[in-house]
Structure 1
Amino acid sequence: MTQTAFEEQEIPIAEFQNLGLSKDGRLHLGEDDLKALLAGHRTEMIRLHNLTDGEIKIMHLDAKISLRRNEQGNLDLLIHPVYREPQGPAYLTDGETEKFANGELVNLDKVVEIGGVKKEVLIEFDKDTNEFIITDTAQILAPDYVNNQELTPDQKLLFRKGKEVEIRDGTKFRYTATDPNGIRSNKLHLIASLLIDGGLSYLLYRGLKALSKDEKVSEDYSRGYYDALEDMQVRKVNDRVKGKNVHHR
């Protein structure tokens, strides 16, 4: 989860149309990819068509895409193609870059200087595109509850640093910018809740990926998941007059 949320009507349709991802004002994207974009995450790999780079025309290109708000307040479409070789940022050592590339490092939390300002960032490596992803940890929004269990300040801090968090029902999860959901877990499904304007907003995650390539995802539903689901359904009925507050991911 990041402190970035876009509305569908803000999407730069013309830019999507130029890539063959929109026609007659309608987006040609899968539901999961659209949700990833609106949540501020990257999509899965998508085939783009008829790209131009100066005088060079590219018939098709496999890449991930994302959205970013520019200084004018509008959304720009970003393309993340597959790079031949990974290029680590200057504040990574050669050893750290190599560990990311061969899978020894999942992420790294560092305080670095960007534009003359010191920031704490989470560094990750997207193996699909051979690209490093840098996220300002101040922009990572930790959930207030997961499966009906309130997270402690320490657990929220771990989440923002990309570390694994475990709650009482055995569910483990961590933040990641490399996944369209923005989160990975040892459970296939979980329910996260955010306190917004005095009320709870629910995010129901389905089909989550494993925490690492060596681990498996459990399809079992925990007691906490069922409790959160029941609470979510009750609140949904009670808050119907205020609009839908449940989002499926």
Structure 2
Amino acid sequence: MVQKIYKDQDLPMGDLGQIGLAENGRLILDESDLQALLSGSRTGMLKLQNITADGATIDSLDAKLSLRQNDRGSLDLLVHPVYREASYPEYLTDSEAESLEKGAEVNLEKIINDHGVKKEVLVEFDKETREFIITDTEKVLVPDMVNNEYLSLEQKERYRKGKEVELSDGTRFQYAGGDARGVRANKLALIASVIVDGGMSYLLYKGLNAMFGQKHDPQKADVYSKGYYQALEDMIKKNETERPANRRNESEQIRAYTRSGYSR
């Protein structure tokens, strides 16, 4: 799941300005792409105009963006253009890299040696940029509940390792490091809950992409379970309690998104 790990005020506005996405201290970026950056994910594909770097100017470039914290604690802006050829990490075999590129495998779990420390990583392939994506599985935020249903230890471990998880209500979802929302599902929306400091934090994901290699079922993707709507109401109540000044507008926006009937 995706949750903010960076703050708005820490964004590298100078770097964003150089690629035409910030001007006079104001961001020129869609909300969904901003949330992707703040959560540590990649944005969707962007068309960058009049990029200036090292004295050179590029008229137009299709690329995705992400952020990475440097040794000084500040954020660096990473640009992921479309590569002509994919260059895979040395710990993948030729056949493993080919399987990811062709979509025969959604992801691969590998144990690597990172400066003398063994680390478990998930390797995916971004077909849009032709780039291999490496995710430290320890940094994947695993939900405690989805659609008001607690995940078992086995389900949590499956999610962390990029494997498909299915709920009793038929909702299927999977971690996706290359997706701007960080998750794919057989539904257009789901609600994840994470226990933080003894309380419950709710995350509404909407406009989700379909599971890898699949398409959304137009008759089922926008039909939600009773558990989903219970989680939705719990989230609205929590928002109203914590932010009473904004509760009317925010609650109405949330309610307006999903008003189709639920399935039992």
TM-score with structure 1 setting the length: 0.93
What RMSD, in angstroms, separates the aligned Cα atoms of the two structures? 2.3
Q: 1:16 to 1:200 in 2, by over 3 A?
A: same
1:189–1:204 Cα contact (<8 Å) kept: yes
Q: Separation in 1 of the partners of 2:83 and 2:117?
A: 28
Which whole-Å deviations, capped at 9, do the CAs of 1:132-153 have from their partners, x for residues lacking one? Answer: 0000001111001100001111
Report the equivalent of 1:114.
114
Report the equivalent of 1:100.
100
Report the equivalent of 2:231.
228
Report the equivalent of 2:258.
none
Report the equivalent of 2:260.
none
Q: Separation in 2 of the partners of 1:236 and 1:25?
A: 29
Which whole-Å deviations, capped at 9, do the CAs of 1:13-37 have from their partners, x for residues lacking one? Answer: 1111111111111000001101111
Report the equivalent of 1:125.
125
Q: 1:29 to 1:39 in 2, by over 3 A?
A: same
Which whole-Å deviations, capped at 9, do the CAs of 1:160-194 have from their partners, x for residues lacking one? Answer: 10000111111110111110000000111100011
- Of residues 91-100 and 46-55 in structure 1, the stretch that sits farther from structure 2 once superposed is 46-55
Q: Separation in 2 of the partners of 1:9 and 1:243?
A: 22
Mapping 1:67-86, distance limit 5 Å = 67-86=67-86
Q: Which runs of 5+ in 1 are unaligned?
A: none
Report the equivalent of 1:165.
165
2:18–2:52 Cα contact (<8 Å) kept: no
Q: Which runs of 5+ in 2 are unaligned?
A: 255-264
Report the equivalent of 2:176.
176
Q: Aligned AA for 1:75?
A: L
Q: Which secondary structure state, in structure 2, belongs to the residue aligned with residue 233 of structure 1? A: helix
Q: Separation in 1 of the partners of 2:69 and 2:4?
A: 9
Report the equivalent of 2:29.
29
1:19 aligns with 2:22: no
Q: 1:136 to 1:243 in 2, by over 3 A?
A: farther
1:3–1:140 Cα contact (<8 Å) kept: no
2:19–2:52 Cα contact (<8 Å) kept: no
Q: 1:91 to 1:4 in 2, by over 3 A?
A: farther
1:239 aligns with 2:246: no
Q: Aligned AA for 2:237?
A: V
Q: Which secondary structure state, in structure 2, belongs to the residue aligned with residue 169 of structure 1? A: coil
Q: 1:136 to 1:74 in 2, by over 3 A?
A: same
Which whole-Å deviations, capped at 9, do the CAs of 1:172-222 have from their partners, x for residues lacking one? Answer: 101111100000001111000111111111111111011123332511111
Query: How far has the Cα of 1:8 moved from its partner?
Result: 0.6
Q: 1:142 to 1:242 in 2, by over 3 A?
A: farther
Q: Separation in 2 of the partners of 1:71 and 1:3?
A: 22
Q: Identity, % of aligned pairs?
A: 51
2:4–2:35 Cα contact (<8 Å) kept: no
Query: How far has the Cα of 1:127 moved from its partner?
Result: 0.4
Q: Separation in 1 of the partners of 2:127 and 2:70?
A: 27
1:188–1:208 Cα contact (<8 Å) kept: yes
Q: Separation in 2 of the partners of 1:32 and 1:40?
A: 13
1:107–1:123 Cα contact (<8 Å) kept: yes
1:185–1:209 Cα contact (<8 Å) kept: yes
Q: Separation in 1 of the partners of 2:4 and 2:54?
A: 32
TM-score with structure 2 setting the length: 0.88
Query: How far has the Cα of 1:53 moved from its partner?
Result: 5.4
Q: Aligned AA for 1:69?
A: Q
Q: Which secondary structure state, in structure 2, belongs to the residue aligned with residue 234 of structure 1? A: helix
Q: Separation in 1 of the partners of 2:226 and 2:136?
A: 34
Q: Separation in 1 of the partners of 2:228 and 2:38?
A: 25
Q: Aligned AA for 2:235?
A: M
For this pair of structures, how many residues does the alignment match? 249
Q: Which secondary structure state, in structure 1, belongs to the residue aligned with residue 224 of structure 2? A: coil
Q: Aligned AA for 1:222?
A: S
